[in-house]
Amino acid sequence: MSYFKITAVQNMFRYSDHFDNAIDNVRKEKRYREFANITRTCGQFPKAKLHVSGECAVDITVWCSNDYMGMGQNPDVLQAMKQAVEDYGAGAGGTRNISGNTLLHIHLEQELADWHGKEKALLFTSGFVSNEATLSTLGKILPECVILSDENNHASMIDGIRYSRAQKMIWRHNDVSHLEELLASLPLDRPKVIAFESVYSMGGDFAPMKQICDLAEKYNAMTYVDEVHAVGLYGQSGSGVAERDGVRDRIDIIEGTLGKAIGVSGGYIAANANIIDAIRSLASGFIFTTSIPPCLAAGALESIRFLRKSQTLRQQHQKRAEQLRTELRRKRIPIIETTSHIVPVIIGDPERCKKISDNLLHQNALYVQPINYPTVPKGTERLRLTPSPLHTEEMINDMASA
């Protein structure tokens, strides 16, 4: 080999090293993620099976599911999905542009719009995509738009805002005085979107929705709320915190998921007809991807119809969350005090957080995954407990004692 060829090989970019380094860095920061091998057992929620090695499976109780109401195993939902597979097959067959609308997609969008008291709704493949596609498109439609984003907003909202290339202003979490300060610094006639969540998934706290709507009206801003952790759970018909707090008409765009309390998968927005039509026409995340399979639409539709009538289940859900908080307080476990269904236990160190989670799983058959940076700020690592209406008092006592 010539001298030149040898140096060329030696100087070659070593792709593999960069992947190894990336993983090493994550390990050094003690935030390397390992997923437990868990299979849910239909009809036994919140019980599941942990696969330790090979075929061996251990019975466990799941304490961190976002299938908040156990709707993923509701017999009516399952039946609707089975029927849709029989009737329409597995997949949607393409984007809405290519394959058109199935009747199920249309019925689900009508149901969602009606549930949220809006003119129209639009389905996406996930809650993540709904946020990313809608916020990125809003920033392009509105000239010189400024998006004011709560500092604890979900990664999907942050990505959407970034891709919009609109100016971004971050307001301190749930601090309406700071939000007002930022709004007041902008010309009244400049387009503004206030983007926030109704229930913050990692802290379990609610947004001051009414005050945010007051500010939006005062400063001529649009409102965009992520109700991903609230749909199915709050308000008389379960459509979310906007319904509970009586501000649905004052929110311009409500975003939600079909993958948490609704128990299936997919995402959506609900808003005025012209907003939905503009996003439908311009958002890449809607246009260029295969739409959700008809069976998911069928399952979600059944689930929403069930949840709209399930105020007793919602009351039971809140009762269980309060019972868990009471038991944890009694055992002097440091929880973040909230009044929602999310009960975060603060650990404050990534290694300890992982260790406690492992111990609970392997010694007590209780599954709650560790939550580390970047999902939460460093030093606030936690266990995020989400009791469902199907967790029993005995299960709550077991968890608190463990």
Ligand X SMILES: Cc1ncc(COP(=O)(O)O)c(C=O)c1O
Q: Which of 221, 228, 270, 304 binds ligand X (CB under 6 A)?
A: 228
For ligand X, the closer of residues 233 and 400 by Cβ is 233
- Residues numbered 26 to 65 that lie near ligand X (CB under 6 A) are none
Separation between Cα atoms, residue 302 and residue 293, nearest integer Å: 15
Shortest separation between residue 236's beta carbon and ligand X, angstroms: 23
378 catalytic residue (yes or no): no
Is residue 124 within 8 A of residue 287, CB to CB? The reply is no
Total residues in contact with ligand X, by rule CB under 6 A: 14
Q: Which of 232, 238, 267, 350 binds ligand X (CB under 6 A)?
A: 267
3-state helix, strand, coil in the chain (%, to 5): 45, 15, 40
Shortest separation between residue 365's beta carbon and ligand X, angstroms: 25
Shortest separation between residue 355's beta carbon and ligand X, angstroms: 24
For ligand X, the closer of residues 81 and 371 by Cβ is 371
- Residues numbered 101 to 130 that lie near ligand X (CB under 6 A) are 126-128
Q: How many C-beta atoms lie closer than 10 Å to residue 49's C-beta?
A: 16
Give residue 238's region: left, alpha or beta (phi > 0; psi -120 to 50): left
Q: State the DSSP string of 355-401.
A: HHHHHHHHHH-EE--EE-TTTS-TT--EEEE---TTS-HHHHHHHHH
Burial of 70 (C-beta count, 10 Å sphere; 0-12/13-18/19+): buried
For ligand X, the closer of residues 129 and 222 by Cβ is 129
Separation between Cα atoms, residue 53 and residue 47, nearest integer Å: 19
Q: Which of 65, 134, 198, 257 binds ligand X (CB under 6 A)?
A: 257
Both structure tokens of 344: 């975060």
* Annotated active-site residue in 30, 260, 354, 378: 260
Shortest separation between residue 174's beta carbon and ligand X, angstroms: 14
Write out the catalytic residue numbers: 260
User: What are the residues binding ligand X (CB under 6 A)?
Assistant: 126-128, 131, 154, 156, 197, 201, 226, 228-229, 257, 259, 267
